[in-house]
Structure 1
């Protein structure tokens, strides 16, 4: 069975071929943001997949929604299906990033 490696969480999970990255992330307890429930409508589940052919070809929905981002390795986790081993980089949630940045600023001010 193919293995999906999620970064930066460094979590790995084996899934059946044809499983979407979104479903694999849920099984691995990796938070991939989505608002549309996996219908390729919100574009919140963008992830960056490593090369190596571990994902099926982009769907028409992905081509329409992502355009040139596909060439940079971005995929929609709700549409991209696993067919082999793949490494996926999940972007940090913007709210978590803002909180982390604020905490870092506070720590710097304390010193």
Structure 2
């Protein structure tokens, strides 16, 4: 449990935990934890690249989605998707950061090559 006046944020799949002050955005917390969350707009909800997933039991430990975030994400909010630049920490939370699409493509290709090499 975090100390009074602080919150713990755990980033998966890296399993990195950082203690932060309430009110910090998940994007800022990820930077402090050296967890790569993609963004192009600098944290103003303009690019939608900083999407993360929060389990339902942790959702109340984040700020209520802003109108801008609601417009951008629509029904994705119902599935636990949040914009890390907009979601502010209010309590201990576990966040899953999706794999970067380029890294995922490279990983898949390397796996395919390794499988081909077995033949």
TM-score clears 0.5: yes
Does 1:33 pair with 2:38? yes
Which among 94, 99, 110 is matched to residue 87 of structure 1? Answer: 94
Match in the other structure for 2:3: none
Match in the other structure for 1:73: 80
Alignment of 1:43-82 (within 5 A): 43-50=48-55, 51-52=57-58, 53-82=60-89
Match in the other structure for 2:17: 12
- Of stretches 48-57 and 94-103 in structure 1, the one that deviates more from structure 2 is 48-57
Runs of 4+ in structure 1 off by over 6 angstroms are none
- Of structures 1 and 2, the larger Rg is shown by 2
How far has the Cα of 1:25 moved from its partner?
0.1
Query: What are the ranges of 5 or more consecutive residues in structure 1 without an aligned counterpart?
Result: none
Query: What are the ranges of 5 or more consecutive residues in structure 2 without an aligned counterpart?
Result: 1-5
With the length of structure 1 as denominator, give the TM-score of the two structures: 0.98
User: Separation in 2 of the partners of 1:77 and 1:70?
Assistant: 12
1:14-59 Cα deviation digits (max 9, x unpaired): 1100000000000000000000000100000000012232201111
Query: What is the RMSD of the two structures over their aligned residues, measured on CA atoms?
Result: 0.6
With the length of structure 2 as denominator, give the TM-score of the two structures: 0.91
